[in-house]
Amino acid sequence: MVDHGVYRSGFPDASNLPFLENLRLRSVLLVVVVHGHVHTYVLLRGGGDVVLIRFDFSRCLCPEPYPEANQEFLRAHGIRLFQLGIDGSKVNANPFSLWAWASLAKPPRSWISGLNVHCRVLVGLTKEPFVSIPEDRIREALKVILDTRNHPVLIHCKRGKHRTGCVVGCLRKL
């Protein structure tokens, strides 16, 4: 609970829905990513090898479509869904950590199974990324949250950490 009538979480899955039912929510504010960025890094490894690494952050930051079970839950309980689209980029650029990743002699097979995994590893190797959310989007979110007709309201993004944290931090500063 963030404040009276305001909750936050990561992306709820089907196993969380019975708990959410107990909150008697009127609204859900979903802070979604609308797009990301592709970054290319050129790394010089020991021995003069040049490694080109391309990360498509849009593929690892964009959430999947809202699950049908969640949509059905909202419909069944008369819960209004507000979607706040924001840019998916995070400011974490620490190419040195990419160097560490690229320098591994044999990365575990799971690391090379998809870009989504690569991005998680990348974020894990760097300091926590900063999220840049435009001021107008924060204002939109705060209007939804401050309107008590929407309470109780649940704020969530993919993990309930960066984007949700920015919105909640701004709410707490009011």
At 87-144, the pLDDT tens digits run 555 554 444 433 333 434 444 444 444 333 333 333 444 445 555 677 888 888 899 9
Identify the residue with better confidence: 160 or 67.
67
For the chain, what is the largest distance between any 2 Cα atoms, rounded to a whole number of angstroms?
Answer: 64
Give the pLDDT of residue 31.
Answer: 82
Identify the residue with better confidence: 76 or 104.
76
Query: What integer is the mean pLDDT of 64-89?
Result: 81
CA–CA dist 154, 9 (Å, integer): 7
Identify the residue with better confidence: 32 or 138.
138
Q: What is the pLDDT of residues 145-168, one digit of tens each?
A: 999 999 999 998 877 777 888 888
CA–CA dist 174, 163 (Å, integer): 18
Give the pLDDT of residue 122.
Answer: 39
Residues 62, 157, 166, 170: which is the catalytic one?
Answer: 157
SS (H, E, C) the chain: CCECCEEEECCCCHHHHHHHHHHCCCEEEEEEEEECCEEEEEEECHHHCEEEEEEEHHHHHCCCCCCHHHHHHHHHCCCEEEEEEEECCEECCCHHHHHHHHHCCCCCHHHHCCHHHHHHHHHHHCCCCEECCCHHHHHHHHHHHHCHHHCCEEEECCCCCHHHHHHHHHHHHC
Q: Which residues pair with 56 in a beta bridge?
A: 38
157 is catalytic: yes
Identify the residue with better confidence: 85 or 29.
29
Domains and CATH numbers, the chain: 6-173 (3.90.190.10)
Query: What integer is the mean pLDDT of 11-31?
Result: 92
